[in-house]
Amino acid sequence: MLRSETPNPAWRTGLIITAIAGILCTSWAGCRRGDRSHDGKVVLDLWHVWGGEQADAIDEVISKFEATHPGIAINPVFTRNDLATSQKFFTAVAAGAPPDVIFVDGPQVAPWAEWGALEPLDPYLAEAGIQAEDYFDPCWRQCSYDGKTWALTYCADPNFGFVWNKQQFREAGLDPDDPPESIAELDAMAVELTTRTEDGALESIGFIPWAQYGPANSVFTWGWAFGGEFYDYETQTVTADDPDVVRSMAWMLEYADRFDVRKIAALEAGFGTQEQDPFYTGKMAMRCLHIGGIVDIGKYAPDLDWGVTFIPAPEVGGEERSSWVGGWCMSIPSGSPHPDEAFELIRWLCHDPEGTTAVGEASGLFPGVEDSPYFEQVRGEPYYGAFLQIIQETRHQRPVMPSQAFLMRELTRAVDAARFGKIPPPSTVAIVAPSGPDWAVDVEQGLAEIGGRLVASPADADVTIVDATSALPTEMPEGSLVVAVTTQPVTPTGADGYVLLPFDAADLERWYVAKTALREASENTQRELDLILKGSE
């Protein structure tokens, strides 16, 4: 029987102490779960997160597994799970009474592994001949941490398809078969597709950049589309204030200014889910869509005339056909009573041709393994073929590090603080531009409108603007944030970021607010990460 390494003992000791109160009032108090069997079969407890139609799908898949594995029975148990806390699971592991198999969200893999709650799968993978090359790259990477593999991807979410309402395009005089490919085209179409009531309130809107499955997922989506990165794996450094990510948030803030963030919030208050989804009801003409939306549209808005393509990107400095992978994975908890049988369930659902096809057919979601026969079934299906193209070209997954959940909370806070004006604009600004370019005149003239004033010394400024459109200064000024005005999306050495021409005081305010919000998110997450890593030494 294959057994993997013992979990981190320091983590285990600390968890047992913190879990004592919970253990005393749970149904497994004082007991260690032993072997479970029924009618000569090994019974596996599978904790899953699926409700509604997906719960029916997991039951269907389990039935097919049991039909091909007569010696194993599955006991599926719905257990709530989110990125912030899964106390029931941790308490069960500490009590020595974990489930045999558990679903783990991709961003949870690293922290759960760091805390010793999961068993490494590497011995099982080697024996089964399962390799990284079998999976879409981000699907494998999201399951790997600290040199080991802790999970396999059950369903791969191509995040996202960019969808548009063709009827609203027609009504706005736009070509219904010509969606935006660039950010500039997206911005222009968003204006054309927005409608207002007689008193100026928003009746519908073309697009809301931060409303793509929450602010944090929106930051990831647009940060990568603009060419940014969120984490340096070599140095274990959080880089949410990467210059390209800052550029993407500054662009998001243009929508808050152009359409009035409070009017947008009032419109969003009427948004809902299922049949009240704003894309289905015509309240938002363009959006990013999860693959599960294909089924939802068929159910709640069957007459909707829509299309799907790749996410738009900036024409200069962006990442064309950008996307990233999310989705649920499957792991063996530390102390699983039947790890061999548990891995066989994981292998069948996450790697086996028959199993991954069963998952796709039942759920409508994509497997993480690249050569699943299910893909041939859907290649020619409406909408699914487009999502298949997206996942085949995907490059990213959310940062695989133990403070991932913390980062998502910080990104949400950053977006909300930035768009609702909770971060003040710079009050003092210095300009280093000896040639006196036109943009410098525009910025100086507009400072009063954002509540700022010009100062002579960078040491006295909240932010210093440096002209890098022709030649860089011999050395960057010290004492404040430095933003370089450039013609290309490159941050000069010594600067904290860049902005492209054309550029005025409003652009400066958006850059400064975005940089401030994301820098705080990075620094806070870095402190959390350092504490976690130090605690596991």
DSSP assignment of 298-343? HHH-TT--EEEEPPPB-TTT--TT--EEE-EEEEPBTT-S-HHHHH
Please name the helix (run of DSSP H) or strand (run of DSSP E) that holds residue 499, with its range, or none.
strand 497-500
At residue 61, the pLDDT reads 97
Q: What's the burial of 204, exposed, middle or buried (CB within 10 Å: 0-12/13-18/19+)?
A: middle
pLDDT value of residue 473: 67
Q: What is the pLDDT of residues 194-235, one digit of tens each?
A: 999 999 999 999 999 999 999 999 999 999 999 999 999 999
Question: Is 267 a member of any domain?
Answer: yes
Label residue 479 by pLDDT band (50, 70, 90). Answer: confident
- Give the pLDDT of residue 470: 78
User: 23 pLDDT exceeds 60?
Assistant: no
**How much is the pTM?**
0.91
pLDDT at 36: 62
Same domain, 191 and 147: no
Cβ neighbours of residue 460 under 8 Å, at least 6 residues apart? 428, 430, 479
pLDDT of residue 35: 55
Of 78-82, 248-252, 396-400, least confident by mean pLDDT is 78-82
Say how far apart CA 113 and CA 93 lie, in whole Å: 13
Going by pLDDT thresholds of 50, 70 and 90, the confidence category of residue 122 is: very high
Q: What is the mean pLDDT of the chain?
A: 91
Residue-level pLDDT at 362:
95
pLDDT tier for residue 32 given thresholds of 50, 70 and 90: very low
Taking residues 140-167, report their average pLDDT. Answer: 97
- In the predicted model, is pLDDT for residue 488 greater than 50? yes
Could you list the residue range(s) of the whole structural domain that residue 493 is in? 423-506
Averaged pLDDT, 61-73: 97
One domain, residues 43 and 81:
yes
| 48 and 134 belong to one structural domain | yes
| Judgement on whether residues 260 and 114 belong to the same structural domain of the protein | no
- The reply to whether 523 falls in a domain is no
State mean pLDDT over 30-35. 45
d(CA 99, CA 86): 13
Q: Answer yes or no: is 170 within a domain.
A: yes
**pLDDT at 19 > cutoff 50:** no
Is the same domain home to 351 and 464? no
pLDDT at 15: 43
Residue 532 belongs to some domain of the structure: no
Give the chain's domain count.
Answer: 3
Looking at the chain, the whole-number percentage of residues with pLDDT higher than 90 is 83
For strand 148-149 and strand 231-232, is the pairing parallel, antiparallel, or unpaired? unpaired
pLDDT per position as a tens digit, 306-342: 999 999 999 999 999 999 999 999 999 999 999 999 9
What number of CA atoms fall less than 13 Å from residue 489's CA on the CB side?
Answer: 16
For residue 528, tell me if it sits in a domain.
Answer: no
Asked if pLDDT for residue 191 goes beyond 60, the answer is: yes
Q: Express each pLDDT in 237-271 by its tens digit.
A: 999 999 999 999 999 999 999 999 999 999 999 99
The reply to whether 409 falls in a domain is no
Regarding whether 244 and 340 lie in a shared domain, the answer is no
- Residues 25 and 104 placed together within one structural domain of the fold: yes
- For the chain, the straight-line distance linking the first and the last C-alpha, in angstroms and rounded, comes to 30
Q: Are residues 317 and 336 in the same domain?
A: no
Q: Pick from 274, 295, 322: which residue ends a domain? A: 322
Read off the amino acid at residue 325. V
Residues 266 and 335 in one domain: no
Instruction: Indicate the pLDDT class of residue 477, thresholds 50, 70 and 90.
Output: confident
Confidence of residue 278 (pLDDT cuts 50, 70, 90): very high
Q: Are 481 and 364 part of one and the same domain?
A: no
Is the pLDDT at 283 greater than 50? The verdict is yes
39 and 145 in a common domain: yes
pLDDT at 16: 38
**Burial class (CB within 10 angstroms; exposed 0-12, middle 13-18, buried 19+) of 26:** middle
| Residue 374 shares a structural domain with residue 352 | yes
Distance CA 174, CA 192 (A): 8
User: Is the model's pLDDT at 282 over the cut of 60?
Assistant: yes
